[in-house]
Amino acid sequence: MKDKLKKMPKTWLDNLITYGMVIIVFLLVQMFISRGLVSNLLQGLLVPLCVYVILAISLNLTVGILGELSLGHAGFMCIGAFSGAFFSKVMADIITVTAVRFTLAILVGALFAGVFGFLIGMPVLRFRGDYLAIVTLAFGEIIKNVVNALFVGVDSRGFHFSLKDSMSLGLEADGDVIIKGALGIIGTPRNSNFTVGIVLVLITLFIVLNLINSRDGRAIMSIRDNLIASESIGINVTKYKLMAFSISAALAGVAGVLYSHNLNSVAATPKNFGYNMSIMILVFVVLGGIGNIRGSIIAAVVLTLLPEMLRGLNNYRMLIYAVVLIAMMLFNWSPQILAWREQHSIKDFLRKRRKVQ
Amino acid sequence: MKKLRKALCLTLAAVLMTGTLTACGNTDSGTGGNSAASDTDSTESSVSSDAGVFKIGGIGPLTGGAASYGISVKNGAQIAVDEINAAGGIGGARVEFNMQDDELDAEKAVNAYNALKDWGMNILMGTVTSGCGVAVAALSSEDNMFQLTPSGSSVDVIKDNTNVFQVCFTDPNQGIGSADYIGQIGVAANDGDMVSRVAIIYDSSDVYSTGIYEKFVEASSSQPYEIVSVEAFTESSKTDFSVQLQKAKDSGAQLVFLPIYYQEASLILSQAVSMDYNPVFFGCDGLDGILGVEDFDTSLAEGLILLTPFAADAEDALTKAFVAEYQKRFNEIPNQFAADAYDAIYIIKDAIERSGATPDMSISAMGDALIGAITQISYNGLTGNDMTWEVTGEVNKAPKAMIIVNGVYQGL
- Find the mean pLDDT for residues B285-291: 80
Neighbours of B16 (CB within 10 A): 15
Q: Does residue B111 belong to the interface with chain A, where contact is any CB pair within 8 Å?
A: yes
For residue A88, the one-letter residue type is S
Integer angstrom CA distances of residue B163 from A167, B113, B131, B340, B351:
30, 15, 17, 19, 13
Among A91-95, A336-340, B235-239, B341-345, the least confident range:
B235-239
- Find the mean pLDDT for residues B244-253: 91
Rg from Cα positions in chain A = 22
Q: pLDDT confidence of B188, banded at 50, 70, 90?
A: confident
How much is the ipTM here? 0.87
- What are the two backbone dihedrals, phi and then psi, of residue B200, each rounded to the nearest 5 degrees? -125, 135
Q: What is the average pLDDT score of chain B?
A: 83
Query: What pLDDT digit, counting tens, does each position of B351-387 carry?
Result: 999 998 889 899 999 999 999 999 999 999 998 888 9
Stretches where chain A sits below pLDDT 50 are none
Q: Is A26 helix (H, G, I), strand (E, B) or coil?
A: helix
Query: Between residues 216 and 235 of chain B, which touch chain A (CB distance below 8 Å)?
Result: 217-218, 234-235
Integer angstrom CA distances of residue B63 from A64, A122, A304, A315, B105:
33, 39, 17, 8, 11
Q: Does residue A82 belong to the interface with chain B, where contact is any CB pair within 8 Å?
A: no
pLDDT greater than 60 at residue B37:
no
Residues 6+ apart with CB under 8 A from B396: B387, B388, B389, B390
For residue A249, the one-letter residue type is A
Furthest CA-CA distance within chain B: 82
- Residue A298 backbone zone (phi > 0: left; psi -120 to 50: alpha; other: beta): alpha
Among B11-25, B271-285, B337-351, the least confident range:
B11-25
Query: What pLDDT digit, counting tens, does each position of B90-125 carry?
Result: 988 999 999 999 988 899 999 999 999 999 999 999
Q: Where does residue A194 rank: exposed (0-12), middle (13-18), buried (19+ CB within 10 A)?
A: middle
Of residues B173 and A113, more confidence is placed in A113
Cα–Cα distance for residue pair A133/A127, rounded to 1 Å: 9
Query: Between residues 2 and 21 of chain A, which touch chain B (CB distance below 8 Å)?
Result: none
pLDDT of residue A1: 53
Query: What pLDDT digit, counting tens, does each position of B387-396 carry?
Result: 999 999 999 8
Rg from Cα positions in chain B = 23
Q: Does residue A85 belong to the interface with chain B, where contact is any CB pair within 8 Å?
A: no
Residues of chain A with C-beta less than 8 angstroms from the C-beta of B11: 327
Q: Does residue A217 belong to the interface with chain B, where contact is any CB pair within 8 Å?
A: no
pLDDT greater than 90 at residue B401:
no
CATH top-level class for A2-356? mainly alpha
pLDDT of residue A357: 62
pLDDT greater than 60 at residue B243:
yes
Residues 6+ apart with CB under 8 A from B24: none
| Residue in A269, A315, A343 to test binding to B, most B beta-carbons within 10 Å | A269
Prediction pTM value: 0.84
Query: What pLDDT digit, counting tens, does each position of B47-104 carry?
Result: 344 568 999 999 999 887 778 889 999 999 999 999 999 999 998 899 999 999 998 8
Cα–Cα distance for residue pair B337/B342, rounded to 1 Å: 9
pLDDT of residue A210: 94
Query: Nearest by CB to A263, which of B19, B106, B214?
Result: B106
Which residues lie across from B246 on neighbouring strands?
none
Neighbours of B14 (CB within 10 A): 10
Q: Does residue B257 belong to the interface with chain A, where contact is any CB pair within 8 Å?
A: no
Domains of chain B plus CATH, in order, are 53-169+318-396 (3.40.50.2300), 172-308 (3.40.50.2300)
Which residues lie across from B395 on neighbouring strands?
B389
